[in-house]
Amino acid sequence: MKVTRLSAIAAAIAATVATVAAISAVSVSARAPASTAAELAAHPRRFTHPQQNRYFPLRAGTVSIYRGTDEGEKLRERVVVTHRTRVIQGVTTTVVSDVLRRADGSPAEKTRDWYAPDNSGNVWYFGESTATYDRRGHVDSREGSWEAGVDGAVAGTIMRAHPRPTDAYRQEFYRGQAEDQAWVVQRHASTTVPYGALHHLVRSFEWTRLEKRVLSLKLYAPGLGIVREKDMSGGHESFVLVAVRHRR
């Protein structure tokens, strides 16, 4: 199904998604994060022989370039899977650098994300260090930064090894700062972006109880990861994959 047809689908189910999001968010936030099942599932013994995830690969040296807009402003995003690692709660995570720049080249946001695939190929999200910048290059905010195990924050699943429609899961949890969730709605989707025509994609809707009106679409391609993302309601962000290269 082409992305050009997604708006009608999203409009038809947006109310359902919002309801699911609200219910899910309440149930998640009501639990005491210090002893959740998610923490137990992220035990270091599950990461002794990590397996790559085809929809969220973490091959060191991969550089992905995106272009997009937000509130009418043109933006360019550069995502690098670095060779650096960070040990969090006994798990060796991969550091991914994500830099968003405005049309004039000034930084809008810089983020370091920490991901780790487990022995089954599920990719876990252990946190991020993020900062937004004003047009003078000064840090405007670090809101949204979190690290699993610190101040009650809990690791989440960014992509399952075998995503299927109706799968719903928490991607991150730091109360009041980072509470993204995802709902897989389709396998074998197709789209065309500047990078090329792509098939066999996973399509998901993603949201957070911290921005209850915002519903976003993401498309994940085998061997590439995210290739398209777009706010379907409540926001104006839209990004597409332009190029991918590999460096040592």
* pLDDT digits 0-9 by tens, 185-240: 999 999 999 999 999 999 999 999 999 899 999 999 999 999 999 999 999 999 99
Helix/strand/coil percentages in the chain, nearest 5 = 15, 50, 30
Is the model more confident about 75 or about 28? Answer: 75
Q: Give the pLDDT confidence score for residue 135 in this predicted structure.
A: 92
User: Which of the pair, 41 or 113, is modelled with greater confidence?
Assistant: 113
- The whole-number pLDDT of residue 40 equals 60
pLDDT > 70: percent of the chain: 84
pLDDT digits (tens, 9 = 90+) for 21-42: 443 443 343 333 433 455 567 8
Tell whether domain 3-246 is in CATH 2.40.360: yes
Alpha-carbon distances, residue 98 vs 65, 76, 131 (angstroms)? 10, 11, 11
Phi, psi of 20 (to 5 degrees): -60, -45
- Mode of pairing for the β-strands spanning 180-193 and 196-208: antiparallel
Residue 77 or 31, more confident: 77
At CB < 8 A and 24+ separation, what contacts does 110-117 make? 114/86, 114/88, 114/147, 115/56, 115/58, 115/158, 116/47, 116/50, 116/91, 116/92, 117/47, 117/50, 117/51, 117/52, 117/53, 117/56, 117/58
Averaged pLDDT, 103-110: 97
Domain spans, the chain: 3-246
58, 223 Cβ separation under 8 angstroms:
no
- Give the model confidence (pLDDT) of 4-26 as tens digits: 444 444 444 444 444 444 434 43
The model's pTM: 0.86
Amino acid at 50: P
Residue 42: what pLDDT? Answer: 87
Residue 238: per-residue pLDDT:
98
Residue carrying the six token digits 């933006």: 75
